[in-house]
Structure 1
Amino acid sequence: MISFKLTYLCIIVAIISAACAVGNKSKLKVKKENLLNENGCFCKLQGEVDDCSCKVKSIDSLNNHMVYPRLKSLLSRNYFRYFKVNLNKVCPFWSDDSKCAMRNCAVNICPEDQLPDGLKKTSTKNKYTEESQEDCQGDDLGYLNTTISQESEQAFENWTKYDDAQETFCEMDDDTSPHMKYVDLLLNPERYTGYKGISPHRIWNSIYNENCFKAPEQPAYNPQALTDYTLEGLCLEKRAFYRMISGLHTSINIHLCHQYLFPATTCYGKEEWGPNLDEFQRRFDHTQSNGRGPQWLKNLYFTYLVELRAIAKAAPYFEEEGFFTGNDEEDMDVRQGVKDLLKVVKEFPNQFDESKLFIGNKKEAKALKVEFREHFRNISRIMDCVGCDKCKLWGKLQVQGMGTALKILFSGDGMGPMSTVNAGSKKKFQLRRTEIVSLFNAFGRLSMSIHAIEEFRKLLR
Structure 2
Amino acid sequence: MRGGGGGRNAAARARLAARLLAVLGCVLTAEAQLTGVLDDCLCDIESIDDFNTFKIFPKIQKLQERDYFRYYKVNLKRPCPFWADDGHCSIKDCHVEPCPESKIPVGIKAGSSNKYSKAANNSKELEDCEQANKLGAVNSTLSNQSKEAFIDWARYDDSQDHFCELDDERSPDAQYVDLLLNPERYTGYKGPSAWRVWNSIYEENCFKPRSVYRPLNPLAPSRGGDDGESFYTWLEGLCLEKRVFYKLISGLHASINLHLCANYLLEETWGKPRWGPNVKEFTRRFDPAETKGEGPRRLKNLYFLYLIELRALSKVAPYFERAVVDLYTGNGHEDAESKALLLDIFRDTKSFHMHFDEKSMFAGDKKGAKSLKEEFRLHFKNISRIMDCVGCDKCRLWGKLQTQGLGTALKILFSEKEIQSLPENSPSKGFQLTRQEIVALVNAFGRLSTSIKELQNFKVLLQQTR
Tell me the TM-score normalised to structure 2 length.
Answer: 0.79
Q: CA separation in 2, counterparts of 1:276 and 1:190?
A: 15
Aligned to 1:356: 360
Q: CA deviation at 1:181?
A: 1.5
Q: CA deviation at 1:225?
A: 5.0
Three-state SS of the structure 2 residue aligned to 1:250 is helix
Aligned to 2:312: 310
* Structure 2 runs not aligned, ≥5 long: 1-13, 120-149, 159-165
Higher radius of gyration, 1 or 2: 1
| Superposition map of 1:8-407 within 5 A | 33=22, 35-100=24-89, 102=91, 140-148=92-100, 150-152=102-104, 154-160=106-112, 162-163=114-115, 168=153, 169-171=156-158, 172=166, 174-219=168-213, 221=215, 223-225=220-222, 228-229=231-232, 230-264=234-268, 268=270, 270-320=272-322, 321-407=325-411
Q: CA separation in 1, counterparts of 2:60 and 2:281?
A: 26
- Taking structure 1 as reference, are residues 423 and 341 closer, same or farther at Cα in structure 2, changes over 3 Å only? farther
Q: Is 1:440 matched up with 2:434?
A: no
- Taking structure 1 as reference, are residues 286 and 176 closer, same or farther at Cα in structure 2, changes over 3 Å only? same
1:185-229 per-residue CA deviation (whole Å, 9 max, x = no partner) reads: 011000010000000100000000000012343236263259955
CA contact (8 A) 1:87 1:392 kept: yes
Q: CA deviation at 1:147?
A: 3.1
- Taking structure 1 as reference, are residues 270 and 402 closer, same or farther at Cα in structure 2, changes over 3 Å only? same
Three-state SS of the structure 2 residue aligned to 1:182 is strand
Counterpart code for 1:447: S
* Structure 1 runs not aligned, ≥5 long: 1-24, 103-139
Q: CA separation in 2, counterparts of 1:27 and 1:343?
A: 50
1:353-382 per-residue CA deviation (whole Å, 9 max, x = no partner) reads: 110001112222111111101100100000
Three-state SS of the structure 2 residue aligned to 1:43 is helix
Which structure has the higher relative contact order (CA within 8 Å, separation 6+)?
Answer: 2
- Taking structure 1 as reference, are residues 28 and 271 closer, same or farther at Cα in structure 2, changes over 3 Å only? closer
How many residues matched?
394
- Taking structure 1 as reference, are residues 316 and 206 closer, same or farther at Cα in structure 2, changes over 3 Å only? same
1:252-283 per-residue CA deviation (whole Å, 9 max, x = no partner) reads: 0000000000124xx65843100001100000
Q: CA separation in 2, counterparts of 1:197 and 1:96?
A: 15
1:408-455 per-residue CA deviation (whole Å, 9 max, x = no partner) reads: 0001328xxxx8574746522100000000000000000000000000
Q: CA deviation at 1:35?
A: 4.0
Q: CA separation in 2, counterparts of 1:50 and 1:450?
A: 18
CA contact (8 A) 2:105 2:330 kept: no
1:322-372 per-residue CA deviation (whole Å, 9 max, x = no partner) reads: 101110010011011111111111110110111000111222211111110
Aligned to 2:453: 451
Aligned to 2:146: none
- Between 32-41 and 331-340, the greater mean CA deviation after superposition: 32-41
Counterpart code for 1:231: L
Q: CA separation in 1, counterparts of 2:270 and 2:17?
A: 40
Q: CA RMSD in A?
A: 2.5
Counterpart code for 1:338: L
Q: CA separation in 2, counterparts of 1:232 and 1:49?
A: 14
CA contact (8 A) 2:307 2:355 kept: yes
Three-state SS of the structure 2 residue aligned to 1:341 is helix
CA contact (8 A) 1:408 1:421 kept: no
Q: CA separation in 2, counterparts of 1:423 and 1:236?
A: 34
CA contact (8 A) 1:251 1:449 kept: yes
- Taking structure 1 as reference, are residues 216 and 277 closer, same or farther at Cα in structure 2, changes over 3 Å only? same
Three-state SS of the structure 2 residue aligned to 1:271 is strand
Three-state SS of the structure 2 residue aligned to 1:150 is helix
Q: CA separation in 1, counterparts of 2:112 and 2:273?
A: 40
Aligned to 2:137: none
Compare the two structures and name the one with the higher helix fraction.
2
1:59-113 per-residue CA deviation (whole Å, 9 max, x = no partner) reads: 00000111010000000000000001111111000112133252xxxxxxxxxxx
1:233-254 per-residue CA deviation (whole Å, 9 max, x = no partner) reads: 1110000000000000000000
Q: CA deviation at 1:460?
A: 0.9
Q: CA separation in 1, counterparts of 2:401 and 2:47?
A: 27
Counterpart code for 1:355: K
Q: CA separation in 1, counterparts of 2:303 and 2:328?
A: 32
- Between 310-319 and 142-151, the greater mean CA deviation after superposition: 142-151
- Taking structure 1 as reference, are residues 163 and 423 closer, same or farther at Cα in structure 2, changes over 3 Å only? closer
- Taking structure 1 as reference, are residues 366 and 225 closer, same or farther at Cα in structure 2, changes over 3 Å only? farther
Counterpart code for 2:326: G
One of 415, 428, 431 as aligned partner of 2:433: 431
CA contact (8 A) 1:71 1:444 kept: yes
Tell me the TM-score normalised to structure 1 length.
Answer: 0.80
1:129-183 per-residue CA deviation (whole Å, 9 max, x = no partner) reads: xxxxxxxxxxx01110113351426444322355365553425452332322111
- Taking structure 1 as reference, are residues 366 and 252 closer, same or farther at Cα in structure 2, changes over 3 Å only? same
CA contact (8 A) 2:45 2:303 kept: yes
Counterpart code for 2:438: I
What fraction of aligned residue pairs are identical, expressed as a percent?
50
Three-state SS of the structure 1 residue aligned to 2:104 is helix
CA contact (8 A) 1:163 1:433 kept: yes
Q: CA separation in 2, counterparts of 1:431 and 1:361?
A: 29
